[in-house]
Structure 1
Amino acid sequence: MTTTEEDKKPDRRVQRSREALRCALIALMKKKSFGAISITEIVETANYNRGTFYSHYDGKEALLDDIIAELIRELLQSFRAPYEGTDVFLISELSANSVMIFDHIYENASLYTVLLKSEVLPKVKEAMLLALKRILVEELQPVDDGRGLNQELLVVYAIHALLGLVFYWIENGFHYSPAYMQEQLVKIINTDPSSARSNVKRPQH
């Protein structure tokens, strides 16, 4: 059965109205806290009515969840880029050019900055953490190298390290370019911690 242009129009209208509502909420979150935003403000900013809003969402929390879900979907797509289409992924052969996660963050810099400054940040961080943990566990099965590493702890460590870099970068206003962040991530991954040296500074009395 062939889908006609007429069949596609309702879907396009739904997509347009949802996108307008998402953009409206994000615009309002730049000005005030999420808790202080009303449905009326959202629909007036989006130039829709309350009926249209409630035909898509139960409330502003559902709209926020939709924004976060779309962001996570794009985040995971960028995270998968280095190993998509391969059977064996060698972290030692990871190239900076194949790391796409910082490009994704930078392309959505305005949204990530808004979320970072909002009271919904813990919700966003938890969603990112759980999503990355899920694909690391389900899609990347580490090869046992005999060192006795607890794989669950390794996954948690890796995710928190990556997200730590990401949020540090956002908090500092994207001071470094995406290319520089990609290059540094690869260098960090390939650094042997046992060879690291630090000068110890004694406290001054």
Structure 2
Amino acid sequence: MLRDALLGLMRERSFDSISVQDITERAQLNRSTFYLHYRDKDELLTHVMRDMILELSRRSHQLGDSPDRLHRTLVEWFQHAAEHPELYHLMLGRSGMRAFSIQLRKLLEQLMNLDMGRPSVSARFQGVPIPIVNRFLASAYMGVLEWWLDRRALHPPEDMARWLGTLTAMMNNRR
């Protein structure tokens, strides 16, 4: 209930303007209940971000080794970002919470490692180590997500995922 209350409030206004009292009122709980679980609103936000990353990771692992795993994960990622733009701005923005940005990038790198680690794919990168390719692509994906959020989700999540897939495929096929 506290998580939902925080996310609902973040859709309406900035995180800095939200108080613990606002969160507990929205959740219809006492402040003492909040403090039984969290030290402050920053700790609640930390838990929300961690849960979000774990959920994205769980969903991508459930897709197994399917050929469209990365695409489907990216669609879900953009959909989630569209639903919670303030959360993503906090995580990825200039004053972002670096630890969560790093975790999100690592999740993307793991997804791409499954695709890029095959010998037929890695040969296309002319000796560039796959971890560097993965970091490059994950950083690019996160940069595109920031751009998209800054433009208030200008394009649908499905289009964004498809376009990122197209760019990745173009890179894979380049000699």
TM-score category (smaller protein): 0.7 to 0.9
Which one has a larger percent helix, Structure 1 or Structure 2? 2
For the structure 1 residues 70 and 172, does the alpha-carbon distance in structure 2 shift closer, same or farther, using more than 3 Å as the test? same
With the length of structure 1 as denominator, give the TM-score of the two structures: 0.64
Structure with greater Cα Rg:
1
1:167-182 map, 5 Å:
167-182=146-161
Q: Does 1:115 align with 2:87?
A: yes
List alignment gaps of at least 5 residues for structure 1: 1-19, 197-205
Q: Does the CA contact (< 8 Å) of 1:72 and 1:128 recur in 2?
A: no
* Aligned residues: CA RMSD: 3.5
Q: Does the CA contact (< 8 Å) of 2:71 and 2:165 recur in 1?
A: no
Q: Does the CA contact (< 8 Å) of 1:106 and 1:178 recur in 2?
A: yes
Equivalent residue number for residue 42 of structure 1: 23
Provide runs of 4+ in structure 1 moved above 6 Å: 193-196
Aligned mates of 1:65, 1:77 — CA distance in 2: 18
Equivalent residue number for residue 60 of structure 1: 41
Q: Does 1:130 align with 2:103?
A: yes
For the structure 1 residues 76 and 193, does the alpha-carbon distance in structure 2 shift closer, same or farther, using more than 3 Å as the test? closer
What is the percent sequence identity of the aligned residues? 22
Which deviates more, 50-59 or 136-145?
A: 136-145
1:143-162 map, 5 Å:
143=119, 145=123, 147-162=126-141
Aligned mates of 2:174, 2:134 — CA distance in 1: 22
Q: Output the amino acid matched with 1:174.
A: A
Shift of 1:68: 0.6
For the structure 1 residues 49 and 120, does the alpha-carbon distance in structure 2 shift closer, same or farther, using more than 3 Å as the test? farther
Equivalent residue number for residue 103 of structure 1: 76
Aligned mates of 1:97, 1:193 — CA distance in 2: 14
List alignment gaps of at least 5 residues for structure 2: none
1:83-98 map, 5 Å:
84=64, 86=65, 94-95=67-68, 98=71
With the length of structure 2 as denominator, give the TM-score of the two structures: 0.72
Q: Which secondary structure does the structure 1 equivalent of 2:170 belong to?
A: coil
